[in-house]
Amino acid sequence: MNVGGACDNASPSFFSTLKMTQMMTQAPDTPQALYRALPSMDSLLAKPSFAQLQQTYGKAAVKAALDGHLHAARTLISQEHRLPNWCSDPAQLHGCLVDQLSRDYCHSLKPVWNLTGTILHTNLGRAQQSEAAIKAVSSVMRYPTPLEFELAAGERGHRDNAISGLIHRLTGAEACCVVNNNAAAVLLMLSAVTAGKEVIVSRGELVEIGGAFRIPDIMRQAGCTLVEVGSTNRTHLKDYEQAITENTAAIMKVHTSNYHISGFTAAVEEAKLGELCRERGIALISDLGSGSLTDLRRFGLKQEPTPQAMLLDGVDLVSFSGDKLLGGPQSGLIVGKQSLINQLQSHPLKRALRCDKLILAALEATLIHYLTPETLDTELPIMAKFARSQDTLRQIGQRLQQALIPLFQPAYGIELQDCQTQVGSGSQPDTFLPSVALCFTALKGGSLSLLEQHFKQAERPVIGRMSNDQLRLDLRGIDNEAELLAELSTLGVQL
Ligand SMILES: *Cc1c(COP(=O)(O)O)cnc(C)c1O
């Protein structure tokens, strides 16, 4: 805990008249006199300004903070034979307490501007939610909701039922299972369907997603044995065929969403693997990663393999993320065959990995948008961001640039430059959307690293990207032009 900080800087101390008179009669700077000159806790708490703090933050918090300052003051007296500055200036102590207490009570998960050029930024919370999802979440937070209750039948229900009807309509899947994220979905699929048995995976698909999530590690964790087939660049149907034994539980396909192997390559399509698995009586499972439910080519992105296409090709279970290209809350969806989904639902891990009502409410609201695909590009924030044209972004940029130049000169210059936005979250690493960046450069007396710090300390921190001696703000990420202008104007004026 900060017990005084800037308030304890050395400087001559001045005492209240009362204390001063007392002190004058004794040796003025003996430790005893200094200890006596320290105000008491009760006298501090009784001051109107501190009483007001207690109204805001509660007596215990104010008392604990004051305790820290008094303790630091006693240490200062014993070590340096002097009083801290605030003894002569109660306003200074009050200011310190306000800083300290407001820091303790401020939210670390506050809104920021993601102008990094990566739309689905994992460090910035991935997909922003639609207004409908936000409304659905606040309503189930506020009121009881039939999370595990069938209103019509008046009996106990299953929490995943909230979305299973929607998933059936959107993907054709017989059933579905929802967990906390796609990593959990993969772990659950493997644990429930393949534990103690072999799973065949192509060497070209032994993906590391980031952090500790590598397909071989997840398999070990799930208790199945990985059987690698093929080579890094080429895997053929016969490689899979030859690897099947009586111990094989499944073939697993992993969508290599975060890298791209090009050149002399071969992979086996799901439709062919589906046939093989049916013949040999084993399961075909697929980790799709992003798993979009809509055609992304309208934005100039590549089409992602969809869960519905995978199921038609004969894949038994498909898993994908809720907060990547789907544009919903953090979650992992597993869709597919009823009998296998039943196995997942009754596995003990499902209880540990299940989603709460907030996530399910947001996911349901997100999926409802997909029933009317023509509204996706206005209702789902990630789609709205993908849909912006470079021309629109250039016009926004010109307006911002004109308004901001006078506020940032002469220390900083502002230019507009073409740039490229990434999807992010490991999706489509080699596809970019043409965009426009507001680029700040340091001129005489300016410092780019100071500017970057200053932007991060804004009321709503502005996060850009440092590159080539520029602080670049990719405008595809903005939520509201007028609000960004206000934020950046304040930052300029404060410089
Ligand atoms: C992103 C990804 C995951 C992990 O999904 P989370 O929702 O981040 O847990 C797993 N597999 C693939 C192929 C991915 O792209």
User: Exposure pattern of 259-276 as b/e (b: 16+ CB <10 Å)?
Assistant: eeeeeeeebbebeebbeb
User: Residue 13 contacts by C-beta under 8 Å, 6 or more apart in sequence?
Assistant: 82, 83, 84, 85, 87, 88
Residue nearest to atom 6 of ligand 1 (CA): 182
Verify whether ligand 1 is closer than 6 Å to residue 426 (CB atom): yes
Q: Using CA atoms, how far apart are residues 138 and 132, in angstroms rounded to an integer?
A: 10
Residue nearest to atom 2 of ligand 1 (CA): 289
Verify whether ligand 1 is closer than 6 Å to residue 287 (CB atom): yes
Choosing from 188, 205, 209 the residue with most ligand 1 atoms within 8 A of its CB, the one to mutate for a pocket test is 209
Q: Quick one: which atom of ligand 1 is closest to the CA of 184?
A: 9
Verify whether ligand 1 is closer than 6 Å to residue 255 (CB atom): yes
Choosing from 120, 178, 181, 182 the residue with most ligand 1 atoms within 8 A of its CB, the one to mutate for a pocket test is 182
Verify whether ligand 1 is closer than 6 Å to residue 207 (CB atom): yes
- SS3 category, 286: strand
Please give the distance, rounded to the nearest whole angstrom, from the Cα atom of residue 290 to the centre of ligand 1. Answer: 7
How confident is the model at residue 343, as a pLDDT? Answer: 98
Verify whether ligand 1 is closer than 6 Å to residue 181 (CB atom): yes
Please give the distance, rounded to the nearest whole angstrom, from the Cα atom of residue 164 to the centre of ligand 1. Answer: 21
Cis amide leading into 429 (omega within 30): no
Residue nearest to atom 3 of ligand 1 (CA): 289
Verify whether ligand 1 is closer than 6 Å to residue 209 (CB atom): yes
Strand 208-210 vs strand 248-254: parallel, antiparallel, or unpaired?
A: unpaired
Please give the distance, rounded to the nearest whole angstrom, from the Cα atom of residue 289 to the centre of ligand 1. Answer: 4
Residue nearest to atom 7 of ligand 1 (CA): 182
- Contact yes or no for 272/307 (Cβ under 8 A): no
In angstroms, what CA-CA distances link 106 with 57, 99, 128?
A: 12, 10, 22
Most distant CA atoms of the chain, gap in Å: 103
Which position has the token pair 């304890």? Answer: 8
Verify whether ligand 1 is closer than 6 Å to residue 332 (CB atom): yes
Topology of the domain comprising 113-119+385-494: Aspartate Aminotransferase, domain 1 (3.90.1150)
**Residue 199: count of CB within 10 angstroms of its CB:** 24
Q: Quick one: which atom of ligand 1 is closest to the CA of 323?
A: 7
- What element of type H or E holds 26? none
How confident is the model at residue 260, as a pLDDT? Answer: 75
Verify whether ligand 1 is closer than 6 Å to residue 182 (CB atom): yes
Q: What is the pTM of this model?
A: 0.88
Q: Using CA atoms, how far apart are residues 344 and 164, in angstroms rounded to an integer?
A: 14
How confident is the model at residue 425, as a pLDDT? Answer: 87
How confident is the model at residue 4, as a pLDDT? Answer: 41
- CA 456 to chain centroid, in Å, comes to 17
Please give the distance, rounded to the nearest whole angstrom, from the Cα atom of residue 209 to the centre of ligand 1. Answer: 6
Residue nearest to atom 15 of ligand 1 (CA): 289
User: Residue 294 contacts by C-beta under 8 Å, 6 or more apart in sequence?
Assistant: 370, 373, 376, 383
How confident is the model at residue 409, as a pLDDT? Answer: 95
Please give the distance, rounded to the nearest whole angstrom, from the Cα atom of residue 61 to the centre of ligand 1. Answer: 42
Show the tokens assigned to 414.
């502002």
Q: What single DSSP character describes residue 237? A: H
- Contact yes or no for 349/379 (Cβ under 8 A): no
Show the tokens assigned to 209.
């997603």
Domain ranges of the chain: 10-105, 113-119+385-494, 131-374
Q: What single DSSP character describes residue 417? A: E
- Contact yes or no for 79/437 (Cβ under 8 A): no
How confident is the model at residue 25, as a pLDDT? Answer: 46
Choosing from 287, 304, 320, 353 the residue with most ligand 1 atoms within 8 A of its CB, the one to mutate for a pocket test is 287
In sign, the C-alpha dihedral spanning 113, 119, 124, 125 is positive
Verify whether ligand 1 is closer than 6 Å to residue 183 (CB atom): yes
How confident is the model at residue 28, as a pLDDT? Answer: 59
- Contact yes or no for 296/325 (Cβ under 8 A): yes
How confident is the model at residue 3, as a pLDDT? Answer: 41
Show the tokens assigned to 39.
């105000």
Residue nearest to atom 11 of ligand 1 (CA): 289
pLDDT in tens, the chain (495 residues): 344 444 544 333 333 444 444 444 445 578 899 999 999 999 999 999 999 999 999 999 999 999 999 999 999 999 999 999 998 888 899 999 999 998 888 889 999 999 999 999 999 999 999 999 999 999 999 999 999 999 999 999 999 999 999 999 999 999 999 999 999 999 999 999 999 999 999 999 988 777 778 889 999 999 999 999 998 888 999 999 999 999 999 999 999 877 777 788 888 899 999 999 999 999 999 999 998 999 999 999 999 899 999 999 999 999 999 999 999 999 999 999 999 999 999 999 999 999 999 999 999 999 999 999 999 999 999 999 999 999 999 999 999 999 999 999 999 999 999 999 999 988 888 899 999 999 999 999 999 999 999 999 999 999 999 998 999 999 999 999 999 999 999 999 999
Q: Quick one: which atom of ligand 1 is closest to the CA of 324?
A: 7
In angstroms, what CA-CA distances link 4 with 68, 96, 335, 398?
A: 7, 7, 56, 46
Choosing from 120, 202, 213 the residue with most ligand 1 atoms within 8 A of its CB, the one to mutate for a pocket test is 213
Topology of the domain comprising 131-374: Aspartate Aminotransferase; domain 2 (3.40.640)
**Residue 107: count of CB within 10 angstroms of its CB:** 6
Q: Using CA atoms, how far apart are residues 481 and 415, in angstroms rounded to an integer?
A: 17
Please give the distance, rounded to the nearest whole angstrom, from the Cα atom of residue 315 to the centre of ligand 1. Answer: 18
Q: Using CA atoms, how far apart are residues 109 and 329, in angstroms rounded to an integer?
A: 15
Residues facing residue 201 across a β-bridge = 228
User: Residue 64 contacts by C-beta under 8 Å, 6 or more apart in sequence?
Assistant: none
Residues facing residue 253 across a β-bridge = 286
How confident is the model at residue 24, as a pLDDT? Answer: 46
Please give the distance, rounded to the nearest whole angstrom, from the Cα atom of residue 422 to the centre of ligand 1. Answer: 17
- Contact yes or no for 494/487 (Cβ under 8 A): no
Please give the distance, rounded to the nearest whole angstrom, from the Cα atom of residue 37 to the centre of ligand 1. Answer: 62
In angstroms, what CA-CA distances link 28 with 89, 97, 252, 434?
A: 19, 28, 82, 72
Q: Using CA atoms, how far apart are residues 378 and 396, in angstroms rounded to an integer?
A: 18
Q: What single DSSP character describes residue 301? A: P
